[in-house]
Amino acid sequence: MTTAPPTGRRYRPPAPLGGRRRADGPAGRGLKAAAFLAPALLILGAFTIWPMLSALRLSFTDASGFGEPEFIGLENYVQVFTDPDILNAVTNTALYTVLFTPIAVAAALALALLLNNPRLPFRGFFRTALFVPFVVSFSVAAFAWSYLVDPQVGLLNYWLRGLGIQLGNVLEDPHLAMPMVVLVAVWKLFGFYFVIFLAGLQDIPTSIYEAARMDGAGAWSRLRNVTLPLLSNTMAFVLIFAMIAALQAFDQIYVMTGGGPYGSTQTLVMEIYESGFRKLDIGFASALSYVLLAATLLLSLVQFVFFGRKEKDLA
Amino acid sequence: MKRKTVLIGGAGSAALALLGSGCSGGGETGGPATLTFWHGYTEADGDVLQGIVDDFNASQSDITINTEVKTWASIDDTLLTALSAGEGPDIVAMPAERLPVYADKGAFAELDDFYNDESSNTANLLPGAVAMVEIESRKYAVPTGFVPLAVYYNTALFEAAGVTAFPATWDEWVATAKQLTVDEDGDGTPEQYGVVLPDHATVANGLWPSLFYGNGGDIVSEVVDAVIDSPENAATLEFWRSAIVDDKISPTGVDGVGADELFSAGKAAMTIGGPWMASIATENNIEYAIAPIPAGPVAQAASAIGVAMAVTVDADDNARAAAEKFFAFFLNDDNAAAWSLGSGWPPLRSDVPAEAVNSNPVVASLTEIADLGRPLLPGVVNSVDVLAAIDELTQRAVAGEDIAGLLAEAQETVQGALD
């Protein structure tokens, strides 16, 4: 609280550092904000919004990339929902998501809980080591894994053979190829989720754990009743990110299996790539992209609502 | 598609080409033109092609062709975006099975008038090579390579097994492969295979079509009808599944790249491949020889590996006429022989005399069997789905699934892709 100056003159607050500030009206502030936002908005507009709108327009045409595309109404969308290849890609993408999301999130959470323990030696080293795969390019990682599991020259196969285990040609086995590409994605991405969980864990006040201990809560009870509820926001974030990553699965599949063997790893994004860039059916690929976008938004919304309710229950 | 070449005397022949390049077919140029030419010849063949381009640029003053060398995969990945942005090349070379996809979408200029022009040097092109650039009876490109798949075999392993003559029929082929298959420790997994027959993603997708042809079968008829579900193809699949799985003459689950690796490691006595296998064998100190794929019960034929160059929509009339002049130059008497020697592929023109390419033994061997070559899926626009269906069929057949059911399924998929 300030008191009136003794001189009786009107009080003028000191000028902020950096010189005198010009009096801005709401319009002036708006302009300034627009000027600051302009570079980001321009980039977003040119590289995200405009291509998205273009793709939306193309999804109603027979565009191939050459010549003037013809408007064909909902034909592409009808094909998306009736083509058996797309049904196969949807099934594979769903399987990939169901395998990848829980495994990656559970592994990240388990390791974050372990490495959040201040008594653990070499914590810094392990934290860094677990994050390293995330920094590696996905395609480089995929190539490395392809060589590791190669039945002729693969190191993994060589070691396992020494233990009497025949791994076989996992990337050519229709039952093993999908788990293999999921494993590579888990290895590559869980380090990122691990760091997010670690940050979430460090935000939980230690006083709550101390109170729980005094109330006689054991380790499992503290995890169930303190850690997990207070991590729900972080969990929602990680789950949504993991699910989006799963729905967009492409890189390692393109490199390791090319969608095979016999379409068993053909995901929706692989199908989009193949339709657009191999068959030059840009209109159909655009429609498929929009259907994938809608599905992603819907699933994210469901998760938001689910975790939002949980948070309300806690409050 | 990878390609390695044996280059003997290419530079000299290219220089001769300059002297003999008086003719220039194709359209009329309306003025100076600078053209961009994308191709994927990255080995010694690339040097020979560059020599021909340089000779062409030097042979006249109006047209300059600038080459940009990319991998074949990169050309396929970037051509669409480059052309739709108006930044594409004027001329592009690509694997022949990808041509119809682009031509059907209007990405390439039609070249019928060029072919009809006597000075275009196209009159004596191999019919199979021309068929691979035809879509709905119109020609959209000029072939730069056409070679049937052939058997590349390890002569040292043949000698060690006491095999003196290369097999001529399927039965002899399997018998020879059995003789060359060695399972020293008796664990059921041979240490050395008689042959390596990939069951998917085969070299230029051509192994199984070649085997189907051998028994009188086919995949597509007249571009519009799927004919893959036939008793002939069923018998072919039964025969080779038995040889691969029961007789263990070849490993299973291998693709084309894996086959190359097994052969170059000396773990397979025979492989099916293209001219680059010659230099791969040499690099790996493997003594090799080349033979045609043995005759099946009905025919002796081999799917051909093809590459062709087309004029894109980004080329205006002037650039197109200039490109046609270059094509005529590329196909002239001297360059036809020089390119064959330099690229290691047989001559594209049937009137190139055998003695013109005898200095390169690989070319000489491949030229002898050039007549066996059949273009793969000529004119089929949706080759992506057709080839995927063949891959799935052969892989599942070798894995032991019901062949009749698989053929019926493949028939439906292929017909769906053609409709």
What is the band of B329 on the pLDDT scale with cuts at 50, 70, 90?
Answer: very high
Q: What is the pLDDT of residue B30?
A: 60
For chain B, the domains span 10-146+305-371, 150-303+379-418
| Contact between A65 and B384 using a beta-carbon 8 Å cutoff | no
**Residue environment code for A34-71, b if the CB has 16+ CB neighbours within 10 A, otherwise e:** eeeeeeeeeeeeeeeeeeeeebeebbbbbbbbbeebee
| Contact between A280 and B388 using a beta-carbon 8 Å cutoff | no
Count Cα atoms within 13 angstroms, Cβ side, for B329.
Answer: 28
The average pLDDT across B43-63 equals 90
Q: What is the pLDDT of residue A154?
A: 83
- Which one-letter DSSP state was computed for residue B209? H
Distance CA B384, CA B408 (A): 19
| Residues on chain B touching A169 (C-beta within 8 angstroms) | 253
pLDDT at B20 over 50: no
Distance CA B217, CA B204 (A): 19
Does B10-146+305-371 match B150-303+379-418 in CATH topology?
yes
Q: Find the residue in A nearest to B81 (Cα).
A: A65
Residue B131 Cα, gap to closest chain A Cα (Å): 21
Could you report the per-residue pLDDT of B365-405, keeping only the tens digit for each? 898 888 899 988 888 888 888 998 999 999 999 989 999 99
Q: Which of A101, A103, A107 is nearest to A130 (CA)?
A: A107
Q: What is the pLDDT of residue B153?
A: 96
| Contact between A152 and B258 using a beta-carbon 8 Å cutoff | yes
Q: From the list A66, A169, A260, which residue is nearest B83 (CB)?
A: A66
Q: What is the pLDDT of residue A20?
A: 53
Residue with tokens 């009736």: A82
> Does B322 contact chain A (CB < 8 Å)?
no
Residue B185 Cα, gap to closest chain A Cα (Å): 15
| Residues on chain B touching A260 (C-beta within 8 angstroms) | 200-201, 391, 395
| Residues on chain B touching A64 (C-beta within 8 angstroms) | 105-106
For B289, the 3-state DSSP assignment is strand
> Does A70 contact chain B (CB < 8 Å)?
no
| Residue A187 included in any domain | yes
pLDDT at A270 over 70: yes
Q: What is the pLDDT of residue A129?
A: 92
**Side chain identity, residue B105:** K
Domain covering B150-303+379-418: architecture = 3-Layer(aba) Sandwich (3.40)
Q: What is the pLDDT of residue B209?
A: 95
Q: From the list A65, A169, A279, which residue is nearest B83 (CB)?
A: A65
Mean pLDDT, all residues of chain B: 87
Q: What is the pLDDT of residue B11?
A: 34
Could you report the per-residue pLDDT of A49-106, keeping only the tens digit for each? 999 999 999 999 998 888 788 999 999 999 999 988 899 999 999 999 999 999 999 9
Domain span including residue A274: 88-314
Q: In terms of residues, how long is chain A?
A: 315
- CATH label of the domain that carries residue A226: 1.10.3720.10
| Residue A55 included in any domain | no
Residue B406 backbone class (left: φ over 0; alpha: ψ -120 to 50; beta: rest) = alpha
Tally of domains in chain A: 1
Distance CA A181, CA A95 (A): 12
| Residue A40 included in any domain | no
Q: What is the pLDDT of residue A13?
A: 63
Could you report the per-residue pLDDT of A245-255, keeping only the tens digit for each? 999 999 999 99
The average pLDDT across B351-372 equals 87
Q: Find the residue in A nearest to B200 (Cα).
A: A261
Residue B85 Cα, gap to closest chain A Cα (Å): 9
Q: What is the pLDDT of residue B201?
A: 82
| Residues on chain A touching B396 (C-beta within 8 angstroms) | 262
> Does A51 contact chain B (CB < 8 Å)?
no
> Does A29 contact chain B (CB < 8 Å)?
no
What is the band of A15 on the pLDDT scale with cuts at 50, 70, 90?
Answer: low
Mean pLDDT, all residues of chain A: 87
Q: Which CATH superfamily is domain B10-146+305-371 in?
A: Periplasmic binding protein-like II (3.40.190.10)
Q: What is the pLDDT of residue A21?
A: 55
| Residue A186 included in any domain | yes
**For the whole model, what pTM was predicted?**
0.77
DSSP-based helix, strand, coil % in chain A, nearest 5: 70, 0, 30
| Residue A94 included in any domain | yes
